[in-house]
Structures are given as C-alpha cells and as structure tokens.
Structure 1
Amino acid sequence: MKFQLDQPEGVNNITRMEPGRVWVGPEAHERAVLVPWQGAAQAWAPATFEQLSREHFAPMLALRPELVILGTGPRHRFAHPALYRDLIEAGIGLEAMELHAACRTFNVLAGEGRKVLAALLFG
C-alpha cells in the first residue's frame, strides 16, 4: 500500500521550517510572507503580530482564497476581527494558529485542492 503524499501539480507546499525561516518549495523566506495555494509566494509588510493593521489584510482579497491561515509566530494569538473585516465581508474565513501549525494546516488543505492562503509571521 502506498503511504506517500500525492502533491497536485502546481500547488504550493511548505517544505521546511526553522526559527525565522520557511521554505515554499525550494525558496526560503525570512520575513513575513503570503503563500497562496497556487502561484508565487510574496513578501508581506508586517514584521510582527503587533504591527498588524487592516491594510495588511487588503492584499489577501486579490488572491481570492476561500480560507486564510494566519500564522501568528511562535505562539497562538488572535487578531481582532476589525483588522480583517474586509475578509469577513467577502466571505473569506480566517483561522489563526502558531506558525508551525499554520504551515502544516496549509499543506494539508492545499494538498486537498482547497483555495487556501497562508499569511505567515515569524515574530
């Protein structure tokens, strides 16, 4: 019986994590990053969870995900709903979790063909 994960063609996969860095495929990212289920990962403006503002959630709308996984750094924190109100109004869900859990969850959902976006903060 096959126990190997099948990764659909053209779907992003977070392949490695270590303190202050994640790899999307072979590419390392050392700053906050948006990782869509397909297409290029892109730099994201906030450096820390405390710096999050409503404007930081605006670029997510253009990517048209059905769900955003917010990786809040080394510990689980909740963003105030006022920050992501535009996502709520667009019918886009948001789940917050610590960074490692966010990366694992992203990989599972993207591998299932879901239109998921990981918004990852390192600190």
Structure 2
Amino acid sequence: MQIDRASGSGPAITGFSPNGYKVEAGTFRGVYRALTITPDSVEEWDAPAFDALSPESLADLLAGDPRPEFLLLGTGATMRRPAPAFVRALEARGIGVEAMDSRAAARAWAVLRGEGRWVVGALYPL
C-alpha cells in the first residue's frame, strides 16, 4: 500500500507490505522489516517477541530529547494489547502508549507528523 506523504518533517513511512515498511525523506531511504522511528531517525528494529516487549527493549527510542508525547506501537498484522506492566512503566515516565495494528500505525505516523506532534513509533512486522 502507498501512503501520501504528510507535511511533517523527518522520515515518512510511504508504503508497507508483508516484506516491510518503505521509508523515505531526505537521507532516510530504505525498506525495514520492523522499525523504530522518530521525527529525526529511522532504524531497523530487532523486535522481541510481543509478549517479551519491555521498556528496556525500546530504551534508545524512549530516551530521546525532547521526551516523546507517546509511543505509537504497531502490533503486527492484528491489534494486540501490550502488557499492562509495560504501559504503566511508560506512563510513569510521562509517555503514553497507543497500540494498533501495524498498518494503522504506519498511516497514523503520517497524520501525527503532519500535525507536528513529537511522537515515536515501534512497528512490528506484518
């Protein structure tokens, strides 16, 4: 699927398929099977099993300055709820968690960046 590029700065997820996410913007070009994304960067992500997801598995992503408003968590092909302990740990840091299937998360990234929101994303493969 192709996604229209939003007006926000930084890397844009411009498409996705079972093979990965297509990312474009300036020097950010590539296809990533699973990824973490911020307004300033995109990285291939060696995603843990969903049930093993912890704040430590996203430590670099969550340590940014400024602190993200929330984590946009793409849970794969279907919507899954992260463990309550994971959500509580992030909320204790002042970071909300928005979980949705990864297709919806890729589309939401474009909308949120178009609004200039300072969010980060971690998207599991489809």
Q: Please report the TM-score for the alignment, with normalisation by the length of structure 2.
A: 0.80
Q: Which residue of 1 aligns with 2:117?
A: 114
- Aligned residue number for residue 13 of structure 1: 12
* CA distance in 1: counterparts of 2:18 and 2:75, whole angstroms: 13
Identity of aligned residues (%): 37
Greater shift after overlay, 58-67 or 42-51?
Answer: 42-51
1:97 matched to 2:107: no
| CA RMSD across the alignment | 2.0
2: distance between equivalents of 1:84 and 1:57?
13
Residue 56 of structure 2 aligns with which residue?
Answer: 55
Comparing 81-90 and 92-101, the one that deviates more = 81-90
* Residue identity in the other structure for 1:105: A
CA contact (8 A) 2:48 2:57 kept: no
Which secondary structure does the structure 1 equivalent of 2:122 belong to? strand
- The letter of the residue matching 2:40 is G
* SS of aligned partner of 1:75: coil
> What are structure 2's unaligned runs of at least 5 residues?
none
Number of residue pairs the alignment of both structures matches: 117
Equivalent residues of 1:72, 1:99 under 8 A apart: yes
C-alpha contact (below 8 Å) 2:10/2:41 kept by paired residues: no
Aligned residue type for 2:54? S
Q: Which runs of 5+ in 1 are unaligned?
A: none
TM-score, normalization: structure 1?
Answer: 0.82
Output the CA distance in 2 between the equivalents of 1:116 and 1:85: 18
> Structure 1 stretches (4+) deviating beyond 4 angstroms?
none
What is the match of residue 35 of structure 1?
Answer: 37
Aligned equivalent of 2:23: 24
Alignment partner, residue 65 of structure 1: 68
Deviations 1:67-114 (A, max 9, x none): 111000000000012124332112111110001001111110011100
